Structure 1
Amino acid sequence: MEESHESEMKVECHSGTVRRSHHSPKVKKNLTSRLNRIEGQIRGIKGLIDKDTYCDDVITQISAVQSALNGVSKILLEGHLKHCVVERVQEGDDEVLDELLTTIKRLMK
């Protein structure tokens, strides 16, 4: 992964029956900033299509968006592994490992 966000993360995975993540304000700001940029890139791609931009140029922009989304996923996955998964395994909940494998398979599509 690009850079570790471990020191920036505070993740609480579940309390009772509700599963939630609670990221530090710094991590939330980072994720929100990345997603806002991605949202702008998507609007840009729509504009390129409206302007009949050359297909290869549009595909290049789509690839950039996919890469940016992968970056967001990596940050979330890192926090999930280091906190949620570890916490649940320590509590004896091995079901989280199957959930993690399903998540990884989804990310690798």
Structure 2
Amino acid sequence: MPSIDRLDADIREDMIQRLKRIEGQARGIQKMIDEGRDCSDVMTQISAMRSASHSLSTELLEEFALHCLRNPDEYPSPEKAVAQMVSMVSRLTR
């Protein structure tokens, strides 16, 4: 997989902003737990954070797939690129 620094600067900045929002969600959940908030409310926020994380992972996978299509010479073979994508999808769906 290409390193993150090979991604377009706007895409990297978007990912960083999304990670900051996820970080804020995690801090908010910690505060909710410290305050003894309702379990249902905490679970709702955990679900939202997980969804945001999943969305970010999906975007990264999409960028990798596009990189493979645009730069086929960077991979030993199409099969190796596909195997790497399958591995990433497998990790994403665990």
TM-score normalized by structure 2? 0.84
The Cα of 1:78 is off from its aligned counterpart by 0.9
Could you tell me which of 50, 66, 89 is aligned with 1:104? 89
Q: Helix, strand or coil for the counterpart of 1:53?
A: coil
Q: In structure 2, which of residues 54, 60, 66 is the aligned counterpart of residue 70 of structure 1?
A: 54
Contact 2:75-2:81 at 8 Å conserved across structures: no
Aligned counterpart for 1:37 among listed residues 18, 21, 24 = 21
Written as runs of structure 1 = structure 2, the 5 A alignment for 1:20-99 is 20-21=3-4, 22-83=6-67, 85-86=68-69, 87-88=71-72, 91-93=75-77, 94-99=79-84
| RMSD (Å) for aligned C-alpha atoms | 2.0
Against the structure 1 CA distance between its residues 104 and 35, is the aligned structure 2 distance closer, same or farther, given a 3 Å change threshold?
same
Residue by residue, what CA displacement relative to the aligned partner does 1:8-54 show, whole Å, maximum 9, x if unpaired? xxxx93xxxxxx23112211111111000100000000000111111
| Superposition deviation, residue 74 in structure 1 | 1.7
Number of corresponding residues: 91
Residue 88 (structure 1) shift: 4.1
SS at match of 1:47: helix
**2:60 partner SS:** helix
Gaps in structure 2 of 5+ consecutive residues: none
Q: Is the 8 A contact 1:89 1:96 kept in 2?
A: no
Aligned residues with identical type, % of pairs: 32
Instruction: Write the distance in 2 (CA, Å) between the matches of 1:106 and 1:30.
Output: 22
Gaps of 5+ in 1: 1-11, 14-19
